[in-house]
Structure 1
Amino acid sequence: MRRVALKIAYIGSNFHGYQRQPNYRTVEGELLRVFKETNIIEDTWTAHYSVAGRTDKGVHSTGNVISFITDEDIHINQLNGLLPDDIKIIGEARVPYGFKVRFPLTRTYTYIQPISPFEKKTLDITKMHVAMESFIGKHNFRNFSKRNEKNPNRKIIDVNLEVDEDVLIFTIVGESFLWNMVRKMVTSIMEVGYGKLDINDINELLKPKELRQFIRLQPAPANGLILSDMEYKNIKFKDSEYAKNKLVEFLKKEYMLHEQEKKADCRLIKILKK
């Protein structure tokens, strides 16, 4: 018996989230199907199976981690051959028997936000950077969650924004996150940029008082969110470049399909505005 940790990458577009659900295609459902086919896991309870992040419908990952106990050897290429094209195991690590996958030192999320060509207002990037600084440190994130959390206090280590032509790339590093927290953080920063919220509004939202009925933050779309990394103390994953490349091949095909849809949409807009 030994405990292993596997790093999982997936494209969330065609999954109903990570967690297995009856009658829905999920990341976990596909993984457990293959693990049972190969006798790696017979029962999740006895295998002490656990996952670091239960991502929502549409959310992607390059760094989610699962862990379980098994007697079998792990052959990543074999497992990936049985998995669908939009999920791949991209890393493996031997971990101590008492390893707790749900408690990494840090989690990193990346959010991809296109700048709308249809928005008349210009983004104030300087104000956005100032607003981002408000999140650094330990705060009460009650107003950035969809639930009434028992403990809404969370520590954010870093928030970074990169502007790449017509795309904004947010990188948010923290110890842990509430449900919808990252996506609501992105929404609030974007609204500051467009002048719909003030920086003082962000500071008020971070205070331990209920403001959700007064300032309604809709979570940014799930399809822009990537759970991009987990960092664990004294754990180093051996990455599979072959598995990464297989996922890249799939992504290139998906990119061209979406690019065709986008160009067709642009042409439709022009035709309709004639």
Structure 2
Amino acid sequence: MYYLIKYGYDGTSFTGFQRGNGENSVEDSIIKILKKYGIGNNIESAARTDRYVSARGNVMLVDTDTNIGNVMGILNARIPGMFFYSYSALDSYLNPRHNSLKQYSYIITENIDISRVMETLGEFVGQHDFVNFCKLDSRNTVRTIKSINYSTRNGFYIINIQGRSFVWHQIRSMMAFALMGKKHPFSLENKFTYLASPEPLVLMDISYDNVTFKNFDFKRHNHYLMEKEKITRTGYMLYDIFGENLDKQ
């Protein structure tokens, strides 16, 4: 039986995404548990995020005869730094990379001129050749960005970028260009060589035509997120306490 499974992870907890990328990549961590518990030998991934990039809504395809409830429970209990929260049972094989839309968000914590940044980012919307804003591989560099907007949360700016597909380093390159105060991206004659930091980038969601995901209710998921919140809040307080020394100088 084929299942699409949505899951999230803290990218800073892993050595990269693709299998073979260090001893603790996202894919290797999942496959190791699938094999250990006789669930399956492989996964197919919808998106391969850069090292230190996180995800709230990546998707993987699993072919297994194991009950999906057991699969979700084992994955959540046995892989630290990840949470698996919804699934879709398929009648036949579906390449998970053939999605209809991906959404990424980039978190900006510093003070910026958001109007200026959004004006530059707006030039990326539509169909363009991103040859100067990506790391080249064998793929076509022409891509279509459906929309770019922003929201605010806890005093931070959240830049939301939607499109069906992106090339390697495209979003980080775009963000660096806008945050550096550059304008008119497609007037460049040469490659733009800067990348924004990977840690603030999050793969928020991937959607498919005619595919509905069913939420999986599990306590370990909530436990992981509560622990993550506690650790994050503690880290923020430590930074605030340590920063008092700087204020006194």
TM, length-normalised to structure 2:
0.90
Q: Tell me whether 1:245 sits opposite 2:222 in the alignment.
A: yes
Question: Does the 8 A contact of 1:115 with 1:166 survive in 2?
Answer: no
Match of 1:72 in 2: 66
Q: Tell me whether 1:211 sits opposite 2:159 in the alignment.
A: no
**Per-residue deviation, residues 57-100 of structure 1 (Å, max 9, x unmatched):** 2111111111022222122223311222x112111111232311
Taking the aligned partners of 2:158 and 2:21, their CA distance within structure 1 comes to: 34
Q: Tell me whether 1:140 sits opposite 2:129 in the alignment.
A: yes
After TM superposition, the structure 1 = structure 2 runs for residues 61-210 of structure 1, keeping only pairs within 5 Å, are 61-74=55-68, 75=70, 76-84=72-80, 86-115=81-110, 123-147=112-136, 150-164=139-153, 166-192=155-181, 197=182, 199-200=183-184, 202-205=185-188, 210=189
Q: CA deviation at 1:251?
A: 1.9
Cα-Cα RMSD = 2.0
1:149/1:263 Cα in 2 relative to 1: closer, same or farther (>3 Å)?
Answer: farther
List alignment gaps of at least 5 residues for structure 1. Answer: 117-122
Taking the aligned partners of 1:157 and 1:40, their CA distance within structure 2 comes to: 37
Q: Which stretches of structure 1, 4 residues or more, deviate above 6 A after TM superposition?
A: none
Q: Which amino acid aligns with 1:153?
A: V
1:131/1:22 Cα in 2 relative to 1: closer, same or farther (>3 Å)?
Answer: closer
Q: CA deviation at 1:244?
A: 4.3
Q: CA deviation at 1:170?
A: 0.6
Q: CA deviation at 1:232?
A: 0.4
List alignment gaps of at least 5 residues for structure 2. Answer: none
Question: Does the 8 A contact of 2:104 with 2:205 survive in 1?
Answer: yes
Match of 2:204 in 1: 228
TM, length-normalised to structure 1:
0.82
Match of 2:232 in 1: 255
Taking the aligned partners of 2:242 and 2:198, their CA distance within structure 1 comes to: 21
Taking the aligned partners of 1:261 and 1:17, their CA distance within structure 2 comes to: 27
% identical equivalent positions: 25
Q: Which amino acid aligns with 1:159?
A: I
Question: Does the 8 A contact of 2:15 with 2:21 survive in 1?
Answer: no
**Per-residue deviation, residues 147-190 of structure 1 (Å, max 9, x unmatched):** 25541000100101224464221100011011111111111221
Taking the aligned partners of 2:224 and 2:99, their CA distance within structure 1 comes to: 25
1:137/1:23 Cα in 2 relative to 1: closer, same or farther (>3 Å)?
Answer: closer
